[in-house]
Structure 1
Amino acid sequence: MINVLVTSVGGGVGQSVVDSIAYLDSKYKIIGLDLSDTVYARNQCDVFLISPRINEPSYLQFLLDTCEQYNIDVLIPGNDGELEMLSRNIDLFINIDVKVVVSPLNIVASSRNKFNWYKDYSSIINIVPTALYSEYVKSPDSFNEITFPVIAKPAAGSASSGIQIFLSLAELLSDPIPSDEAINYVVQPYLMPMKTASDYKTLNKAVQERRLLQLSEISCQIVYDLNSEVMGIFVSKNSLKNGVPVTIEPVTDESILAVIRDIAEKLKSEKLIGPVNIQGRLTDQGLVFFEMNLRFTGITGNRSQFGFNEVSSVIEAFTNEGLVTPLISNTARVGARQVACTTFYPLGQNATSIILVTGASSWAAKNFICHMSKTGFLVGKKIILSARNSAGLKEQLEHELGTNETREFVYIGTRSEELSQSIGLTDVIFNFASARPPHGNHKIFESTMFNLSLVDLIKCGNPGFVVNMSSQSVYEASFDSLCYESSAVTATSTYGLSKHVVEQAFSSIPKYCKGTKVVNLRLGRLWSGNIEVDKSQFPYRMLDSMLGDGLFEVANSDNQISMLDVDDLSQSLLSLMELWKGDNELPTTLNLGGVNTSLNQLVSSLEGALLEAGIKFNKLAINTESTQSKSVVISSHLAEQYGLNSSRNLVSSWLKLLTLYNK
């Protein structure tokens, strides 16, 4: 796992960097920084931190401390304003073994000032003629290359801030820029597109009206490795809206590409590393450039969708010296950028007010609902219950809990429209939707497909916390070994394979929205409870036989088995929810096995429960000659570390089951 620190993730550049690698969650851990916690990229970062402003004295030390705290491998700047500071202090990061994606100070500083860049690099790059405003107004005749119309703009400015248009020399001299500002301004000819270009007339009209209108640009991205060798070049014509690229068309014109390759080769002597972006315009005088930025750009994420993942390639080149992956792209595509939307909770304010239970008519889910009700947890909560037969579930819960307790319950079906709206409302989802082996393979298949569709809806809805009920069946049975969360998953049954597939689907949700935390609970055999009897449970059949004909035979009585009281599951779910609400780190997978016991011990505990209740019973036939067979027994040690403790008293679980049996 490579730890990557990205700054200013709320800006276009930082956001685009995160877009490029957020889905590669098994490869990179992203620590994102920004001034605000209400930025889109927060849902894409594994860790999100509020940072000081770039110009604050504490900013550099904050970066160094963060790098050490999170064991950062690569730091990627997302803001122009920090490039010089990072380059100037590069040794501080080298000393703590952090690679910073920033080029040498001399070219970084030059690129940050338009006049210096023109002065230093116009011999190898066809840069628009640039003069200091203060010098130009003193002697316009000395600058024959400055032709009207012209623009005056801050030498160190970015985007279109502070730009003014002048149509003639007389106009420029009659409306001077205030002297306190003029010292920082430059003058350049206005770069008009070719007269044959589709946007020429529109742009010319805007210039004559002294309106700044940015309609298109040529963007050239050159990427270097640590040895300043070119890893790849991507050239595109970008259509702009309010100065922001919205359409990206790869350029395949060899005459243009040859110019960029030549520039890339000549710049190698500057010991550049990482990304270099040069922006220009196709004019009647050829391709002329007006800006260079030594960083990734706002369309870096879009370029990755052409196969040109410059961020991932740079990280790999920085962390695996000598391993350089050439960057190529699919130039048959066209890129598009629009507004993206997301939701999340303010930092430290996770909410648990609205709860959605899917598969709510299952035996385990109904016990969970009753547990929440009887423990008073539902006071002040809104609970949404999804079931295929929502009317039947409503009737049963009203009978069990009373109409007064259930009057605030919301019942929905399983249609996508209902679920989508409910997921958008929901803080926490508990997914019990599942078919079990007795239901048959067709039902298991239907359940799997429902869960996969549910995952797609959750990816779009951004709930805060999701717990998916899985099973110990994903593990391979053995004679004597415990299964841990790290144990190999070797599902051999249809049911076990279904559970594993569904687990993987739920685990993928944070790839799309890291603001949603997902836990897959691998459960032992559920039993006991407080609402109805699941007659398919073998504990029920044991009890029924002991109180009846006693014909139930216990084979392989030394076999170990994980028995989880459904009430312990219910309490563990509430505890998990409170842990998430408190911003505690939680694992993606947790075993919750309950009591690990032999079948012999289980029978003995049932006899003890019946004796305690004063009930006569028949002894069960126990085949003592049989040998132990393979079984799955899971370790709940990790769950216990999170305070998820199961009752060790088998007798109390039997007594609850006996109460239900007698009903």
Structure 2
Amino acid sequence: MNNMKKYNIGISCIGSGVGQSVINSLRLSRLPIKTIGFGTNPFAYGAYDCDEYDYTPTIYQENYIDKLIEKCKEYKVDLIIPGMDDEALIFSNNKSKFEAAGIKAIFSEEPLNTICRDKERMSEELNKVCDVFVKSYDKETLENDISKGLVQFPFIAKPRGGFASKGIEIINGIDDLTKISDEHILQELAIPTKDDPNYAFYIGQIAKNRNPQVSEISIQLVYSPKGELMGRMASYNKLNNGIPIEIVPYENEYVWLVIDQLTPTFLELGLRGPLNIQGRLTENGLKIFEMNPRFTGITGLRALMGFNEVEACVKEWLELDKGKNKLSFNYGRFGMRQTADKSVAIERNQEVADLFKQLNKSKIKNKKVIFITGITGYLGQNLVNELIKYPNFEIWGFGTDKDKTTHLFEGKIHSIYDNEDLRKGFIQFGNVDILLHLGFARPHNGYQKIAESLQFTHELFTRAASHQIPAIINISSQSVYGLETPPLWTEKTPVAPQTVYAQAKYSTELFLKTLKQTNEQLHCSSLRLGTLAGSGFGLTEVDFLSKIVQQALSGQPIKIIGGMQQMERFDVRDAVQAIFKMLQSDSSTWKPIYNVSSGDVNSLIDIAKMVISIASKKNDGKISEIIIDKKEIQMKFGMDSSSFYEDLSWNPTYKIEDTINSLVSYFMKNQKKSYRI
């Protein structure tokens, strides 16, 4: 996607559920687009999510396509997406007009659209390929077959070209045949298997002449303009008036074997873009009763679950990263629809988790995807090198220098990203289970880098929230407390940042708090870490403890101003274990803020004495002199981390002596480095 010009995307029938779903999907993408909604209703919900909106005739008006093309030219539309079944057929019948106008559109060819709109023909012709489509009858044929005892009640009657379950009737007996007209087609019922969770409910509703829209399997296929598979997924759905309202991920090898048999025929008929297939798993195998070659009302919800088919198709049709737009689906989420889409981590609802297990048995081995920023930093490197030992995590790493990140972690973690990937929308946030934000400039990096880090955090958290990532851990700092309140600081201590860095860190906490207020399903916490120290991957030797250890090892005098300053150092090994413990915990129990440090507070002069004592045993007895510039410096640091210790059932392992020992060993192994400060 090197060409970053802005593209104009039109969505017709914007007031439909499909139109709204397309808009929701586009809003999740990072495509450089402007959206234009077309429709007939000023109250169309989706219209007000578009950048612009304009009116067209109804799709059934004779000059609809001509008027729509005029509007597309007016708004310089590069690509248009239909929002209804009948409209998709109309588009395919007028393919030449779109081509002549130079306007691209996402739709399948006319043969597939036509057969999908005629349920009787779909059954007759496609059952010759694979006998999985429900049998269809007209009224006269059915009456004859009933009289001969060839078929049995009940049946379902549908309008031949219907959609969204409108005009459906249940036919339980001869008397019910009066409900139907010549415009209806009768189909055999696809009754779920007896071990299906909704079997009893289904049978009970049919007996009451009601159409129970449960236990439906929805299969979504997505193909490129050249007929190449971009992605596919399936879900187990409950519907209300034809609209899916409960969606659980579903995987069944038998179902895909059936689809594989049918796919060559779909492609011959002109499958391009999306194709939705609806059916049920019955005692006689899969029974398909509906197909629609278009996006659907739950397209936007699928995008929240990692399967953003609209984004992938738009990019493919506009030839952005052509051939590389592949789709995957997060089997760790389930979905609900009411007035808005919501995607939730499956483990947060035990009944859904049980249903998921019942449906899929042990077919899906789900790992938690942890997206970690700042992966090449001091804490990042040590944390990742610990996490890769555990197979239940899939690590996605983010670093500003992709070459460096690749050098450090290629082959060790699943995916590596950088700012360019974020800017171009290459990161599939819908597949992320936990965002762990470590990446932030340190005070020694300067004000500009800190400002850039704050901007990056804002962008990152916004993207995470829009994709409804279930959990976010934000690494903050003890510096937000400032020095106005004496330690030990608790999470209830008023913050008073006194530096640019501290202000920026507190800003990240506030922004995350705001996101939580807009989405109750977001579980998040900001960890106010103590200052890290100790040997480990990526150590930057700017901390005073590293400096005085190097001085002591070389026998140089250690100059101290004041000496009675109280400070706390947090061993990086403990920091890694604390975060690891949190990643393993139930995110619903997290508090919004945690202090996380060693709880080991010492004076500067005592720390210097410990360093000299430990170093003298390793440097041939060289003993550094402590030179004190006596000044009254009221600087005290230290946090009460008991809340974290209690909630996570964890305590730090390393004391300041252990941290010093680790640094001494580290610098002794790196003798080639100068100890001069």
The TM-score, its normalising length taken from structure 1, stands at 0.50
The TM-score, its normalising length taken from structure 2, stands at 0.49
